[in-house]
Amino acid sequence: MSNPVVIEDPFFYAVAVPAVLLVGISKSGFGAGFGSLAVPLMALAVSVPQAAAILMPLLLVMDLMGLRAFRGHFDWSLLRFLLPFGLLGSVIGFLLFKLLDPRALAGIVGVLTLVFLAQRLAFPPRANSPPPPRWIGGILTTASGFTSFVAHAGGPPINAYMIPQKLPPLVFTATMAVFFFAVNLSKWGPYAWLGLLDMRNMVTSLALLPIAPLGVWVGVRIAHRIDPVLFYRVVYTGMLLTGLKLVWDGFFSART
């Protein structure tokens, strides 16, 4: 019997709906880092590449909503630095995609995320401390493009560079909206070439589409009203949960 044109497993939707909501809220800037949990959550029911493919059209819709909601707040000088490295990372992800073990990659991303958080807690930055040097920013942004391509988990690496910039929440959110719109747009051709954008994945994505605007709408309303101190606490919490989940998926659940 051939596969139906859309995924029918109820458990898939039980994990996919919360995953899409988390991505939408993360796209608004509130809860940044939570979006990286989407693929690991959906991978409880389908493979990592299939989960990434199903999310592609949803990411496009949410990226466009984020661009519209935060227009006029982008830091263009910062984007001119970030975008070439992010796109480079996406190209590297494409070239290495079939050679990678997605679980091992998830574990590595999780470890780096937790190390960054531990460093921030052990050595909190002073008010007048400078942001990381640009060469570190280039490495982290390239890593972000790379992990975004293979698992839509680009948030933790670039957050490690962006958070010390101490941007206002709206500028932070708007700049990340443009960055990930460009990186996600660059994935469409490679994903199609890799055979991931098949009919079943795209129809399943269409079934989840109504959930995407809801998450963005909720997050945007909060992001426009949240205190900057609380904003970054939520960012750290999102990165902590993301890091723990990715470490578990990469180094523990893979062995079972």
pLDDT of 51: 87
C-alpha closest to that of 85 among 127, 122, 134, 139: 139
Q: Please indicate, yes or no, if residue 35 is contained in any of the structural domains.
A: yes
- CB environment 167-203: b (16+ within 10 A), e (fewer): bebbbbbbbbbbbbbbbbebbeebbeeeebbeeebbe
Q: For the residues 188-210, what does the mean pLDDT come to?
A: 91
pLDDT of 34: 65
Domain boundaries, position 219: 10-255
pLDDT of 132: 80
Q: Please indicate, yes or no, if residue 4 is contained in any of the structural domains.
A: no
Q: Please indicate, yes or no, if residue 3 is contained in any of the structural domains.
A: no
Question: What would the pLDDT profile of 20-43 be if each residue is shown by its tens digit?
Answer: 887 877 776 555 556 777 877 787
pTM of the model: 0.77
Question: What would the pLDDT profile of 221-255 be if each residue is shown by its tens digit?
Answer: 776 676 767 766 776 776 787 778 778 877 887 45
Largest CA distance in the chain: 65
Residue count (the chain): 256
Q: Please indicate, yes or no, if residue 5 is contained in any of the structural domains.
A: no
Average pLDDT of every residue of the chain: 81
> What is the pLDDT confidence band of residue 49, given thresholds at 50, 70 and 90?
confident
Q: Please indicate, yes or no, if residue 1 is contained in any of the structural domains.
A: no
C-alpha closest to that of 219 among 18, 68, 22: 22
Q: Please indicate, yes or no, if residue 225 is contained in any of the structural domains.
A: yes
Domain count, the chain: 1
> What is the pLDDT confidence band of residue 92, given thresholds at 50, 70 and 90?
very high
What is the amino acid identity at position 12?
A: F
User: Which of 38-52, 96-110, 145-159 shows the lowest per-residue confidence on average (mean pLDDT)?
Assistant: 96-110
In angstroms, the CA 83 to CA 76 distance is 10
Q: Please indicate, yes or no, if residue 93 is contained in any of the structural domains.
A: yes
Higher pLDDT, 219 or 145: 145
The total of other beta-carbon atoms located within 10 Å of residue 248's CB is 15
Cβ-contact 249, 40 below 8 angstroms: yes
Higher pLDDT, 28 or 80: 80
Q: Please indicate, yes or no, if residue 72 is contained in any of the structural domains.
A: yes
For the cut 80, the answer to whether the pLDDT of residue 55 exceeds it is: yes
pLDDT of 235: 66
Higher pLDDT, 69 or 92: 92
Higher pLDDT, 21 or 105: 21
